[in-house]
Amino acid sequence: MRILHGTSELFPYSKTGGLADMVDGLAKATAKLGHQVGVVTPLYRGIREQTPALQLLDSRLELSMGMLSVSARVWTHQPRPNLTIYFIDQPEFFDRASLYMHNGSDYLDNAARFIFLSKCVAHLARHLPWQPEVVHVHDWQTALAPLLVRHQRDHDGRATPPRTVLTIHNVAFQGVFPPQDFGLVNVPWSYFTVDGAEYYGRLSCLKAGIVFADAIITVSPRYAREIMQPELGCGLDGVLRRRADVLTGILNGVDYEEWKTTGNPRLPHAYSATRLLGKNLHKHALQKEYGLPPRSDVPLFGTVSRLTDQKGIDIELGALEEMLSAPMQFVLLGSGSSHFVQAFTDLARRHPDKMGVRFGFNEDLSHRIEAGLDFFVMPSRFEPCGLNQMYSLRYGTIPIVRATGGLDDSVTDITEDMGQANGIKFTEYSSRALAKAMRKALALYAQPPLLCHYRGNGMNADFSWDRTCLEYLRVYERKLA
Ligand code: ADP
Ligand code: GLC
């Protein structure tokens, strides 16, 4: 099959969250099976310097944006056989300090930036010599591409356009802009209706994707059910219910070439389910790095996360207030809201022997944390899939998760099936419920053989992309049949 992805983030070139890992993992796994795969993504600042072997594509893109014409060069890179990355080089849009925002506010021209990216995806889908059969876009930033492909068929003389697939990684981000921004799309206003890209008088990029894509996938089966309900549908539950026949949930995979406990350049000490000494060394190194006493007799809890309301940071702070009097330690790596940064900083200042915090985005440190922790805390208010709980499992760290979305689909509680149990789950969204789950973790830590059993279950669980990508391929096949 010939598949072209469109995405605003791609690991290892650009990343603010799990989207980057997911597209990389899926693209690599499908290419490995022999399918031809392309990924269209922006050439953000710094990528050129880190990716020396870029090749310039012959033709320059020249695309209408409302009354203007915007051009871009396209650089290609082939990190492995059958996989080509198409980097969109449009410095005014993409050569910036960060991907989406500056000083906590979205860039004012995000509509133009990502309408342009969606146009690049649809244009390349039409003009690349290898003629992609499937255009697979991710989240609102490329969600206008299915509309543009539909337009190629209905008004622009393209008899057999590719099939379009939209993966929704988070329905809370919809790309909603003033109606006049629809003018930048350069398609008739007949697409801007309640059955199209219009949402309460405004342009909704995600809604356009939901309406016009041939198939819609979200990143876990439970989240697929949740977003069709008002509570987590973020206003799009009705639109999603209307497309229930083409909506499925497929749990994301994990790239075990990146997340492995042996032969991993990011992890100085190798370990496995049966030889856990290396994990202990990571724990001590991490305690040292965070200025905590290097103790083996107390469990080390931690979190790596965007610091936003989605991630349940408010109940985590409340639970820590209560739990830090118990024999435990906690480390944080996070970036996001200054309000949460301040709250974690204050808490750590009050408990210097028990808690350490680091802010910013640090991929290497995130691996060392996953390896060094005993328990990973992920109390999300909602979680489409979540990758950190699956990274934790592979690294022998017991995840403590709230039973929502992909967290519920990927973690088995220690009170369930003993042969599979690998984590601690709680349901109520409250500090009290999380603190109770953390107390269960303390009790488990006092029973090393049991702890070891659950760790082993986690480390042996298989969330590899090799398996998951077959589910995506089945969706493509059904649409092409
Ligand atoms: P989301 O995409 O909603 O943030 P996921 O769990 O799917 O949540 O993915 C988050 C990804 O981003 C993981 O790979 C995680 O390790 C990484 N990550 C989040 N915050 C940081 C950080 N401050 N430093 C390094 N990596 C981070
Ligand atoms: C989004 C979701 C997260 C998911 C990731 C990758 O960022 O918040 O739950 O794991 O996308 O699909």
Contacts of 407 (CB under 8 A, 6+ apart): 378, 380, 383, 386, 389, 399, 401, 425
Q: Which residue has the higher pLDDT, 431 or 417?
A: 431
| pLDDT given at position 447 | 97
For residues 246 and 389, membership in a common domain is answered with: no
Q: Which ligand 2 atom is nearest residue 384's CA?
A: 9
The domain that holds 34 is classified in CATH as 3.40.50.2000
CA–centroid distance, 391 to ligand 1, in Å, is 10
Ligand 2 pocket check: which of 254, 387, 409, 472 to mutate, most ligand atoms within 8 Å of Cβ?
A: 387
Q: Is residue 253 in contact with ligand 2, taking CB distance under 6 Å?
A: no
CB of 468 closer than 6 A to ligand 1?
no
Same domain, 165 and 55: yes
**Read out DSSP for 354-411?**
TEEEEES--HHHHHHHHHH-SEEEE--S--SS-SHHHHHHHTT-EEEEESSHHHHHH-
How far is the C-alpha of 59 from the C-alpha of 280, rounded, in Å? Answer: 54
| Structure tokens belonging to residue 429 | 């969204």
pLDDT at 287 > cutoff 90: yes
Query: Closest residue (by CA) to atom 7 of ligand 2?
Result: 18
Please give the mean pLDDT across all residues of the chain. 97
Q: Is residue 272 part of a domain?
A: no
Is a pLDDT exceeding 90 seen at residue 267? yes
Half-sphere exposure of 43 (CA within 13 A, CB side): 23
Q: Is the CB of 306 under 6 A from ligand 1?
A: yes
Find the 166 Cα to ligand 1 centroid distance in Å.
21
Q: Say whether both 179 and 34 belong to one domain.
A: yes
The whole-model pTM stands at 0.97
Domain range for residue 126? 2-253+466-480
Which atom of ligand 2 approaches the CA of 406 most closely?
9
Q: Has residue 267 been placed in a domain?
A: no
| 245 and 313 part of one domain | no
Q: What is the sign of the dihedral through the CA atoms of 174, 253, 444 and 300?
A: negative
Find the radius of gyration of the CA atoms of the chain: 23
Question: What type of residue sits at position 128?
Answer: L
How many domains does the chain fold into?
2
For residue 104, the model assigns a pLDDT of 85
- Residue range 401-427, pLDDT digits in tens: 999 999 999 999 999 989 999 999 999
Residues 6+ apart with CB under 8 A from 443: none
151 falls within a domain? yes
Residue 74 Cβ inside 6 Å of ligand 2? The answer reads: no
With cut-offs at 50, 70 and 90, classify the pLDDT of residue 59. Answer: confident
Indicate whether 261 belongs to any domain: no
Q: State the average pLDDT over residues 257-278.
A: 97
Spatial separation of the C-alpha atoms in residues 107 and 331, rounded to whole Å: 32
In a shared domain, residues 426 and 287: yes
> Do 375 and 452 belong to one domain?
yes
Sign, Cα dihedral of 92, 96, 101, 103? negative
Q: How far apart are alpha carbons 379 and 312 in whole angstroms?
A: 5
Do 438 and 312 belong together in one domain? Answer: yes
Q: Is the CB of 169 under 6 A from ligand 2?
A: yes
Look at residue 184 and give its three-state secondary structure. helix
pLDDT at 345 over 90: yes
pLDDT digit string, tens, across residues 88-146? 999 999 999 999 999 889 999 999 999 999 999 999 999 999 999 999 999 999 999 99
Q: Which ligand is nearest to the CA of 358?
A: 1
Domain co-membership, 455 together with 315: yes
Report the atom number in ligand 1 closest to the C-alpha of 335.
23
Q: Is residue 166 part of a domain?
A: yes
* pLDDT surpasses 90 at 235: yes
* Atom from ligand 2 closest to the CA of residue 167: 12
Based on the domain organization, do 189 and 204 belong to the same domain?
A: yes
Q: Is 357 found in the same domain as 335?
A: yes
Is the same domain home to 440 and 452? yes
- Does any domain span residue 192? yes
Pair 391, 346 in one domain = yes
Single-letter residue type at 77: H
Cross-strand pairs, 134: 3, 163
Q: Tell me what pLDDT residue 39 has.
A: 99
- As a whole-number percent, the residues of the chain with pLDDT over 90 amount to 96
With a 6 Å cutoff on the Cβ, whether 335 touches ligand 1 is yes
In angstroms, the CA 426 to CA 413 distance is 9
What distances in angstroms separate CA 227 from CA 139, 215, 314, 430, one per listed residue? 14, 16, 23, 22
